[in-house]
Amino acid sequence: MSAWDLPISLNVGGAEREIGTDFRVVLDIMKAFNDPGLPEYAKTAVMVEILYIDPIPEQYINEAAQKAIWFIDCGMEQEDKPSPRVVDWEKDAPIIFPAVNAQAGYEVRIPGKYMHWWTFYGLFMNIQEGLFSQVLAIRQKLSKGKNLEKWEQEFLKENKSLCALPELERETQVDEDWAFFASRLK
């Protein structure tokens, strides 16, 4: 695969395995990872089950999970240092999608309309100023202990529920295969 191609399969156990590449597939995985009632080991199993079209043989589950993480991370290397979670894809959907739609120039959620996860994530990463970017900036400042500007303080006071993220219970010991992906969701 060249750098400008969008992956539609992942090589696991020496065989190309077809994956679900629509952005909704990955958002379903993110929803599962935000479920505090789901144990960490089960989240990996859910990710593999949702992403791969055909079942993965048991001996290749760890490799399949690592490749799935690579796909979800859009093939980009991530820092090992965990960062605070400032986005909840499900909670923030009402403010994320209008911003992504503005980037795309059309409604991306039209039923049956396909968009590759990497394309969707590229649009997400290039969101310009607007409600979502304001909420995100406030969350980022709060997570780093930085002071808010006066207008940000007023916005937060008027929009506490919009800016708040539900606290998720996380196990302190995370499987090494899972640690890399878990750090992206915090």
Other C-beta atoms lying within 10 Å of the C-beta of residue 151: 9
SS3 label, residue 133: helix
Q: What is the model's pLDDT at position 81?
A: 66
Other C-beta atoms lying within 10 Å of the C-beta of residue 136: 19
| 18 sits in which H/E element | strand 15-18
Other C-beta atoms lying within 10 Å of the C-beta of residue 154: 11
Q: Which residues contact 123 (CB under 8 A, 6 or more apart)?
A: 100, 103, 104, 108
Residue found by looking up tokens 């202990």 in the block: 145
Res 36 pLDDT > 80: yes
> What distance in Å separates the CA atoms of residue 97 and residue 89, rounded to the nearest whole number?
10
Chain length of the chain: 186
Encoding tokens for residue 54? 């055909």
Rounded (5°) CA angle 80-82-87: 130
Confidence band, pLDDT 50/70/90 cuts, at residue 167: low
Rounded (5°) CA angle 76-79-80: 125
pTM of the model: 0.83
Q: What is the model's pLDDT at position 70?
A: 95
Model confidence over 77-135: pLDDT tens digits? 877 666 778 999 999 999 999 999 999 999 999 999 999 999 999 999 999 999 999 99
Average pLDDT for 5-20: 96
Torsion angle, CA of 10/16/112/47, rounded to 10 degrees? Answer: -50
Model confidence over 50-74: pLDDT tens digits? 999 999 999 999 999 999 999 999 9
Q: What is the model's pLDDT at position 177?
A: 37
Res 147 pLDDT > 50: yes
Model confidence over 169-180: pLDDT tens digits? 233 233 343 444
Confidence band, pLDDT 50/70/90 cuts, at residue 182: very low
Res 168 pLDDT > 80: no
